Chains A and B, each alone.
Chain A
Amino acid sequence: MKDPDSEAQLPLPCIAPDSGAQIIQLPARPKNVAKARPSKTATDEASAKPIAKRSRSKNLWYALYLPQLRELDSTQQKKYLDQLAGHMQSVSSTVSFHPQALICEIRSSLKYFSGIDVIHQKLQRLIERQLQQWNLADDFFYAASPTVSGSLLLARSGNNVLVYRQENLRSALGQLSTDVLDLNKEQRRRLLNMGIRHLRDIWRLPSDGLRKRFGSNFVNQLNMALGIAAEPTHNYIPPPAFAASYDLPYEIENLDRLLPIADELLAQLCDFLRRRDLSTNSLALSLLHEKRDSTVINIGLRMASRSQQHLTLLLETHFGRLSIPAPIVAIKIEVRKFDAFFAKSESFLENEASRLKPYNDSNLNQFMEQLQARLGENHVKSVSNATQHCPEYASLQLDYKENPNQGGPVAISTEVCANPRPLWLLQEPKQLNINKGRLFYRKPIAIVSGPERIETRWWSGIDVCRDYYVAREHSGSRLWIYRERIGKRNWFLHGLFA
């Protein structure tokens, strides 16, 4: 953070030593600020400068304190603070987290925003709106001072103040009650017993004795607030996001001609991922049209990747079945979700073991992604066997993506009964005719083996009471047929041994 060149460049005047007011109320009482302004013009330039040089501190920290967050649980607090930190990034690049508070450095942005008033108003607008969205009280406390802890203590005290110079901090903080300090119960009780109500009472005590009685943390806390001790902060780093767009020089209707351009954008994305050691498993590609909603292609990957070749191939597949409503004027790629990149090591010698285990092979995954991209997510099914007595429920067709072993409604197993089962099952059992006393499907049927009695699902309302037989049609097909044991005792075809 660069120090501003001279005091004169700063839009807010330092308070002249003779003005007496060391604390200015911030825009909560804008009149005071207005009053303070002319005081600078009145001040002799020559006398102000040496003081300014002496007292110039590197940073000005703006603290935002939200007591209403205290009622929420810690994860919720973290989530809210994260979002607010995002808002605060619009005025400062250095935002750090504190309990129920956020602090950002604003001296480096004072010139850009032409004054702390503007910064404060901007923040206030953003934060109030955000708090209203969350249905929280939309008021908050704020303060600005040359130290992080100092700003935090001032904000906690509820006086919305600005302390501009470091040497004024001591007197500004001195007025605060000791309640604002981060103390445990014992320390609090001890301070009370010593008759210390305000911070200025502590200033008067010898630091050696304080250190002995309250521990060095306590003394450090105060020293940091006064700017005597260094105070490192952990800055908020926003999650990465990638967006790249390209305005086409002319309108394109042919998607094949768009491919090289999309490829170029994907190259940028892969470069971005490689530099940050990330990979992604979902990206959104928007094709922008004139006077129409843009066409959005969402590409999801089974395994996070940063291979340009693979992404291009997937995009090509998506383009292959896409029809656009209007010519394209611009193209945009956005990625919001990232994963850490895991490099796979490939064996130097191609051994038998690795050839026999292609389950996690990226080749297969890429093939499956391509297949799903072209046919649609729910067109590729995996087949699994379920422990169900009722024949219709013993086989499951699940979307390939789903892992049937994780929380599925029915147990998947490899156990099957010993009785013959057909390879093909009819979607719906088909009633068989009886012709001249013989069962008839396409041709007459003769029973080969059976019966196998299945009685189940009485609890579901539709009772299953069937005698299953293996039958042979006169054309050579093997059929799986059953006869109902209740009702009309009709014969049905249920499967083909094929």
Chain B
Amino acid sequence: MTTIQNHPDTQLPYQNQYQSAQADTFHGAGSSDIDELIQSNPKLWRGCDMAGQGIHGRSTGFTQLDAILPGRGWPEKGLMEVITPHWGMGELQLLIPLMRSIVEQGKWILWISPPYLLYAPALVQAGINTDQVLVVKLDTSCKDALWSMEKALQTENCGLVLAWQNWLPTKVLRRLQLAADTGDTLGVLFKHHDSEHSPSPLRLKIQDSYSENAGFNESEVTVIKARGNFRSLSANINLYQQA
């Protein structure tokens, strides 16, 4: 948009129309002009229309999040990153419905060196069969943890692989992404910091939000990047529905 405005010499047939349409949106004018514009020019499209084309995700269990994810849910396979300023911001609550559906499929969940002890009663309360949960201990070296993650992602029996790793080089991420694609599995990396050039197809950020009506009950989940979405979207979700 801005490039067009910055170069007034470029003569495009729809330039004036476009500028006026933009001005309308800025002034809060009705969307009818935009619709008209889109219909009149095949080179224009709405970014949100692309979402979900040909991709059918697995519902996240949170309607607000489904709405902003391409495919209306979690991807079936691949690597995703969940970024939280510190551990325990509700990132596991976010994945509980996913874990439940994976266990129901008869697949396994592998936790690779989680920072705290995994507590079985909570898993049972969430409806996750603990027989299908395996934990790789915390004191495993980073190299071994990544090796196990790659192997687990390649194994079809593992439906979900969760790992806690900060600062992974792009090369490693690409390799994990490839492993997840071959094994039809979903890998989740929990990190503290976002890296813009990460090749993971889905990056989420969980932040605290305080709103007047919901108080502290909701967290802000931002989809920083999702293959199929053109801009980052965010939603306020009450992650602790049961607690």
Contacts and interface: CB of A to CB of B under 8 A. Distances in A.
Contact of B122 (A356, A358, A423): A423
Interface string B56-67: 000000000000
Interface string A62-90: 00000000000000000000000000000
Contact of B137 (A357, A379, A476): A379
Nearest to B190: A498
Contact of A420 (B106, B140, B158, B242): B242
Interface in A329-357: 355-357
A395 to B, nearest CB: 4
A478 B148 contact: no
B88 to A, nearest CB: 4
A383 B144 contact: no
B130 interface: yes
A384 B108 CA distance: 14
Interface stretch (B25-33, B89-97, B173-181, B193-201): B89-97
Contacts of A476: 89-90, 206-209, 216, 219
A497 B152 CA distance: 26
Nearest to B154: A367
B140 A497 contact: no
A99 interface: no
A475 interface: yes
Contacts of B118: 383, 395, 397, 423-425
Contact of A383 (B116, B135, B140, B209): B135
A385 B121 contact: yes
B82 to A, nearest CB: 11
Contact of B88 (A368, A370, A498): A498
A497 B116 contact: no
B55 to A, nearest CB: 23
- Of residues B87, B105, B125, B152, which shows the largest number of chain A Cβ atoms within 10 Å of its Cβ? B125
A400 interface: yes
A497 B151 contact: no
Contact of B130 (A359, A379, A384): A384
Q: Chain A: interface residue count, which band? A: 35 or more
- Of residues A356, A394, A475, which shows the largest number of chain B Cβ atoms within 10 Å of its Cβ? A475
A371 B206 contact: no
Contact of B121 (A363, A379, A381, A394): A394
Given A367-B157, A381-B137, A420-B242, A475 B124 contact: no
Contacts of B122: 421-423, 497
Contacts of B209: 476
Interface string A121-149: 00000000000000000000000000000
Q: A-side binding surface: helix, strand, loop or mixed?
A: mixed
B117 A395 contact: yes
B95 to A, nearest CB: 10
A380 interface: yes
A382 B135 contact: yes
B86 A423 contact: no
- Of residues B91, B131, B152, which shows the largest number of chain A Cβ atoms within 10 Å of its Cβ? B131
A375 B92 contact: no
A478 B117 contact: no
A380 to B, nearest CB: 6
A374 interface: yes
Contacts of A483: none
Interface string A472-494: 10111111000000000000000
Interface in B127-151: 130-131, 133-137, 140, 144, 147-148, 151
A374 B145 CA distance: 10
A380 B117 contact: no
Contacts of A355: 106
Contacts of A395: 117-121
Interface of A: 355-359, 361, 363-364, 367-368, 370-371, 374-375, 378-386, 394-397, 400, 414-417, 420-427, 442, 446, 448-449, 470, 472, 474-479, 495-498
9 contacts: A358-B107, A367-B155, A375-B136, A381-B135, A423-B118, A423-B119, A470-B243, A476-B207, A477-B86
Given A383-B123, A385-B120, A442-B86, 10 more contacts: A367-B151, A374-B147, A379-B137, A381-B137, A382-B134, A416-B125, A424-B116, A424-B117, A477-B90, A478-B88
Interface of B: 85-93, 105-108, 114-126, 130-131, 133-137, 140, 144, 147-148, 151-152, 155-158, 206-209, 216, 219, 240, 242-243
